[in-house]
Copies of this chain bind each other. A is one copy, B any other.
């Protein structure tokens, strides 16, 4: 449990608001509610999602090492973010942050593994499963999970382009694994999706 004195502020952002730009900061950030996207941009301005930060998770970890931040942090849904002073973290807090760092490092390596070894279809399936555990997913009356994500957003997350993602999403929809609508995707067969993600 992080001590009260460590908290500097708590700020709520609207969807699409940029929380952090590349640069330097002395603060550490934790998502209280909502969903934050950490992304970078190539020379042509194409976004590349590095990770999603869910409630209870941290971002801005480079402040712990005095390093420069090379990414953007953006609110995906309405998001409340705690601003913390890393110098005031207790030993216990630090362990929490370290555990988090180990987890996101392991996720980053998984992304590398998938980018190199997996087909785009597997990468999209894995991404949909990951998004299904975030604030972008809502349970439908039918019991199915619906994910709010455009093909552009999926492309940024799996390192591809919209046109190709649209083709693969169509393929998954024809196979009955997902239902695809404008800006949203319904998971119809989670087991099949897991199978595809592992291929």
Q: Taking beta carbons and an 8 Å cutoff, which residues of A are in contact with B?
A: 40, 42-43, 46, 48, 50, 61-62, 64-67, 70-71, 91, 94-95, 97-99, 101-106, 108-113, 115-117, 159
Contacts and interface: CB of A to CB of B under 8 A. Distances in A.
Contact of A112 (B61, B97, B99, B108): B108
Contact of A94 (B42, B94, B105): B94
A70 B106 contact: yes
> In the assembly, how many copies of this chain are there?
2
Contacts of A115: 112, 115-116, 159
Nearest to A109: B50
A67 B65 CA distance: 23
Given A61-B102, A105-B105, 19 more contacts: A42-B113, A46-B117, A48-B116, A50-B109, A50-B112, A64-B95, A64-B98, A64-B99, A64-B102, A65-B98, A65-B102, A65-B103, A67-B106, A97-B98, A98-B98, A111-B112, A112-B112, A115-B115, A115-B116
Interface of A is mostly: helix
Contacts of A65: 98-99, 102-103
Given A48-B112, A108-B109, A115-B116, A102 B67 contact: yes
A100 to B, nearest CB: 8
Contact of A98 (B46, B70, B101, B112): B101
A186 to B, nearest CB: 27
5 contacts: A42-B113, A43-B117, A61-B105, A62-B106, A64-B98
Given A117-B46, A159-B116, A40 B102 contact: no
Contacts of A64: 95, 98-99, 102
Given A50-B112, A112-B115, A105 B104 contact: yes
